[in-house]
């Protein structure tokens, strides 16, 4: 009897990965009204997670959705091989989910701009107030840990029952945790350094052309 083909899922980070520019940082740098050095220091040292960092940053953020989107759309640079990655995955019956510890409004705008609106994503949610204030909601938080805004590990684990193989692609701090639970990891920058240090097998990548070659050669 022929073997059932393996069901494969690719989970990818957004900022710094799908978008080569970290758009969360772009918003935060441009629209905060006071220094964030104290929050950044605590986050990078691991003293606080992204959820607390976001709550503190939101108090110092001011701007309308329109002004933030205008800035984002001027700054964004999609990985040039990402659209090909999407069609290649579709042709091979491989599903894609984006997991982001960034904000929904700019992910929507970027996917729409590049006509990639069919991709499901998980992220934090920005709620704009009338007075240019901003609050951030965490629909994909893990209540038991509550460290990250979006718990990428919980999302990955929730797909374990449906998929035989899970490939993870990422670059940053919020990717440390989920990369431990994936079957295959593609990593760059700080994620690559962390995987190397912890002994998590991973492949260094520069852009999605390398992922595309991997899919062509393996599926």
**Site of interaction with Mg ion (CB under 5 A):** 13, 15-16, 171-172
Q: Which is nearer to Mg ion, 4 or 16 (CB)?
A: 16
Q: Which is nearer to Mg ion, 16 or 149 (CB)?
A: 16
* Inter-CA distances, 71 with 67, 106, 108, Å: 6, 10, 15
Looking at the chain, list the stretches that DSSP marks H as alpha helix, in order from N- to C-terminal side: 23-31, 37-44, 50-58, 65-75, 82-91, 104-113, 152-158, 176-179, 189-198, 208-218
Secondary structure class of 18 (helix, strand, coil): coil
Q: Which is nearer to Mg ion, 7 or 184 (CB)?
A: 184
Rounded CA-CA distance 189/68 in Å is 26
As measured in angstroms, the least distance from the Cβ of 191 to Mg ion is: 8
Q: Which is nearer to Mg ion, 15 or 26 (CB)?
A: 15
Secondary structure class of 147 (helix, strand, coil): coil
Tell which residue, 130, 134, 125, 205, has the closest CA to residue 167.
Answer: 205
As measured in angstroms, the least distance from the Cβ of 166 to Mg ion is: 18
Q: Which is nearer to Mg ion, 23 or 94 (CB)?
A: 23
The DSSP bridge pattern shows strands 120-128 and 134-137 to be antiparallel
As measured in angstroms, the least distance from the Cβ of 194 to Mg ion is: 13
As measured in angstroms, the least distance from the Cβ of 17 to Mg ion is: 5
Q: Using CB atoms within 10 Å of the CB of residue 89, give its burial: 0 to 12 exposed, 13 to 18 middle, 19+ buried.
A: buried
As measured in angstroms, the least distance from the Cβ of 66 to Mg ion is: 25
As measured in angstroms, the least distance from the Cβ of 168 to Mg ion is: 12
DSSP state letter for 119:
-
Q: Which is nearer to Mg ion, 15 or 104 (CB)?
A: 15
Residue 204 dihedral angles phi and psi, to the nearest 5°? -70, 135
């Amino acid at each position: 009897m022929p073997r059932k083909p393996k069901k494969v899922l690719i989970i990818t980070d957004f900022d710094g990965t799908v978008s080569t520019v970290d758009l969360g940082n772009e918003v935060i740098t441009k629209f905060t009204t006071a220094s964030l050095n104290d929050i950044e220091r605590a986050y990078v040292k691991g003293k606080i997670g992204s959820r607390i960092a976001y709550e503190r940053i939101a108090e110092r953020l001011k701007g309308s959705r329109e002004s933030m989107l205008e800035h984002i759309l001027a700054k964004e640079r999609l990985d040039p091989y990402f659209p090909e990655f999407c069609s290649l995955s579709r042709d091979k019956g491989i599903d894609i989910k984006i997991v982001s510890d960034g904000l929904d409004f700019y992910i929507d705008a970027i996917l729409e701009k590049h006509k990639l609106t069919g991709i499901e994503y998980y992220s934090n949610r920005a709620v704009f107030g009338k007075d240019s204030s901003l609050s951030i909601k965490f629909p994909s938080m893990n209540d038991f840990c509550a460290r990250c805004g979006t718990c990428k590990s919980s999302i990955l684990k929730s797909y374990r029952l449906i998929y035989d193989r899970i490939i993870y692609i990422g670059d940053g701090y919020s990717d440390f945790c989920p990369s431990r639970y994936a079957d295959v990891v593609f990593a760059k920058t700080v994620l690559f350094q962390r995987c190397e240090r912890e002994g998590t097998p991973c492949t260094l990548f520069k852009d999605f052309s390398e992922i595309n070659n991997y899919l062509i050669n393996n599926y």
